[in-house]
Amino acid sequence: MHRHASGHLHHHRRLTKTSGALPLLLSISLGLAGCDSQSSSQAVGSAQALDAAAALSAGADLTPPSAPSNLTWNATGMTVILSWGASTDDVGVAGYQLFFGNFYLGLFSDTSLSLIGFKVGTPYNFTVKAIDAAGNLSQASNQTTVLINPIGPDTTPPSAPSNLAITNSSTTSVTLQWSASTDDVGVVVYQIYANATLAGTVPAATTGKVSNLTPNTTYTFTVKAVDGAGNVSAPSNGVSRPVYVDTTPPSVPTGLTASNVTSTSLVLSWNASTDNVGVVAYDIYGSNTEIVMTTTGTSLAVSDLRPAAQFGFMVRARDAAGNSSAVSSQIFVTTLDPSLTLPPAGGRFDYQIGGAYTPVASVRVVDRDRSDAPVNGKYNICYVNAFQTQPAEATFWHTSHADLLLTKAGAEVTDPNWPGEIVLDTSTAAKREAIAAIVGGWMATCQSKGFQAVEPDNLDSWTRSQNLLTEEDNVALAKLLAVQAHSHGLAIAQKNTSELASRHAEIGFDFAVVEECQPYGDCDAFTSAYGARWYEVEYTDAQNALKNFKDACNARGSQVSVILRDRDVAPLGDSHYVYQVCSDVQ
């Protein structure tokens, strides 16, 4: 349905995304044929959002397309053809958004468009932006002003604007002011030029701002007047902006982490830096401080890595003037050993660290104490208390390794929730190496028994150390334990400690075993880090235990194995034994 009433603008191509009737602008009412009645702001939102699922499937694509180039128009009678140069994108351009002034008109797949319905002698300003499948939006193209000449032989250009002056300037922008031109019919628009290149247009006003200037660059500005017939005046006097020298570097990127680690690849991500002008690139460094990759976004996929090898990464930000920030903190990431067998994501889990028993047939993953034997035909995880002592092993520690027990004022520091468990001292490199050697021996025994993975418990022991240990002390030991596990062909689990989930690749964890994340509200951290390759245990003695379990099942039970167990994780046949899965309560 194409209504051709005077003053309405119509397009010939079908819109992929459309806006509804737009408000008055430049004294014309814009209506798009075949459009819904939603507002232009809603249309912009729907177009920029595209499809969330498609954006997710695209992976960590945060790089926008390049801006469309050379937006121009030509008219045949009252029909106007807009055309522009195609954008480029690291994945692919999904389409182009057309804007009339600040109003969004639609999403198109081609690089040209036919429009009708223009008023004679009225300027219409258009820009185009490119968008990719992940929803990244490019900078706007140059603005082009469509102006249909009135009928009649008006060939007289306006007078040149005069008294052009700079009223305000910064490193990236300038504001100009001038005296109005005169014309036998009337000036409709002024064109602003920077170094003889069209930088923008403004309606028949006598001030304008030019942005996105490059620091350390000399610019000379002029202005020309355009009348309703398209006649262009001679240029105004020229004015030059002072050269602004940008010497301020961007802030240091923070939060560098690695995810999606495989045997040959990983994805780095970090928090964006800030800059007084703007960050244009991030340089990623290896352990030897040489640049290995550069990107404009805040994530980067790294491939072609060696399996089972450790790699160091740092990142620094760079602005348009070439100023670079200091490098970020360095992280070290170990690629997976392809010989490792990881537990099945979402596989039904049974937690038997309180005593072994025969699991039901549908169980695929069993976690048992290192003193027990694995189960034939299942994926078996070997539980080891790596950061605290087991009560039954106090004699071993007191006799052979008393120096590795944490003490304060001569008294041993114990876990207040588990009497008899003494916190191990991870405060020095020498003590961490000694603990890792002991636990590594236990891991070797696990491997010889037929276990496929290990679960080192009490990773968060620094929180019970009476401020004698730090998070980084335990992270350092965890890294040593990951090396030990992998050297024995065992995968290694992160145990609880959601604050370290984002660092799992740096530490070397392959999956996670998590207790009571539902009441503490930190389950999402493990999903973000491990996808569905983690196993959740809720306990019957927690407050609102059944509600917690049902909520966990409703939130994640279709992807993650969620079980309910008694606090003592007692074996089958014990009066305290409880084992439930989500299907038992749904």
178 domain residue, yes or no: yes
Whether residue 36 has pLDDT greater than 70: no
Are 141 and 80 in a shared domain? yes
Instruction: Find the domain containing 311 and state its range.
Output: 254-334
Q: In Å, how far from its chain's centre is CA 558?
A: 25
Contact 207, 190 (CB under 8 A): no
89 contacts: CB under 8 Å, gap ≥ 6: 63, 64, 65, 66, 130, 132, 136
Distances (CA, A) of 352 to 148, 344, 383, 537, 568: 81, 18, 9, 11, 10
pLDDT of residue 535: 97
Are 488 and 394 in a shared domain? yes
Contact 219, 177 (CB under 8 A): no
Whether residue 129 has pLDDT greater than 90: yes
CATH number (domain holding residue 371): 3.20.20.70
- From 146, 177, 199, the end of a domain falls on 146
340 domain residue, yes or no: no
> For 89-116, what is the mean pLDDT?
90
Name the band, by pLDDT with cuts 50, 70 and 90, for residue 52: very low
Are 326 and 362 in a shared domain? no
pLDDT of residue 289: 57
> In a 3-state reduction of DSSP, which class is residue 439?
helix
> In a 3-state reduction of DSSP, which class is residue 256?
strand
Name the band, by pLDDT with cuts 50, 70 and 90, for residue 336: confident
> In a 3-state reduction of DSSP, which class is residue 257?
strand
Give the pair of three-digit tokens for residue 358.
């025969």
Are 186 and 314 in a shared domain? no
Name the band, by pLDDT with cuts 50, 70 and 90, for residue 578: very high
Tell me the pTM. 0.55
Comparing 16-25, 60-69, 336-345, 352-361, the range with the smallest average pLDDT is 16-25
Other Cβ atoms less than 10 A from the Cβ of 576: the count is 14
Name the band, by pLDDT with cuts 50, 70 and 90, for residue 54: very low
> For 343-367, what is the mean pLDDT?
96
What is the number of alpha carbons within 13 Å of residue 567 lying toward its C-beta? 7
Name the band, by pLDDT with cuts 50, 70 and 90, for residue 470: very high
Are 436 and 558 in a shared domain? yes
Are 22 and 139 in a shared domain? yes
Whether residue 360 has pLDDT greater than 60: yes
Pairing of β 239-241 and β 197-203:
unpaired
111 domain residue, yes or no: yes
Structural domains counted in the chain: 4
**Could you give the percent of the chain with pLDDT greater than 90?**
65
> For 245-255, what is the mean pLDDT?
91
Whether residue 311 has pLDDT greater than 90: no
51 domain residue, yes or no: yes
Contact 276, 248 (CB under 8 A): yes
Name the band, by pLDDT with cuts 50, 70 and 90, for residue 205: confident
Contact 517, 530 (CB under 8 A): no
Are 528 and 381 in a shared domain? yes
pLDDT of residue 308: 81
More confident residue, 391 or 53: 391
Secondary structure element (H or E) that encloses residue 340, with its range: none
**Could you give the percent of the chain with pLDDT greater than 70?**
88
Q: Which residues pair with 291 in a beta bridge?
A: 285
36 domain residue, yes or no: yes
Are 166 and 139 in a shared domain? no
The interaxial angle of helices 545-556 and 523-530, nearest 10 deg, is 30
Query: The tokens 């196993």 sit on which residue?
Result: 535
What is the rounded CA–CA span in Å between residue 310 and residue 290? 16
pLDDT of residue 152: 62
Q: Which residues pair with 106 in a beta bridge?
A: 18, 98
What is the rounded CA–CA span in Å between residue 215 and residue 241? 11
* H-assigned helices in 165-264: none
pLDDT of residue 85: 94
- From 241, 273, 297, the end of a domain falls on 241
Are 418 and 567 in a shared domain? yes
CATH number (domain holding residue 76): 2.60.40.10
Are 546 and 440 in a shared domain? yes
- From 176, 211, 241, the end of a domain falls on 241
Comparing 82-96, 147-161, 323-337, 473-487, the range with the smallest average pLDDT is 147-161
Are 412 and 524 in a shared domain? yes
> In a 3-state reduction of DSSP, which class is residue 133?
coil
3 domain residue, yes or no: no
Please report the DSSP string for 216-229 in residue order.
T--EEEEEEEEETT
Phi, psi at residue 482, to the nearest 5°? -65, -40
Return mean pLDDT, the chain. Answer: 86
Are 26 and 108 in a shared domain? yes
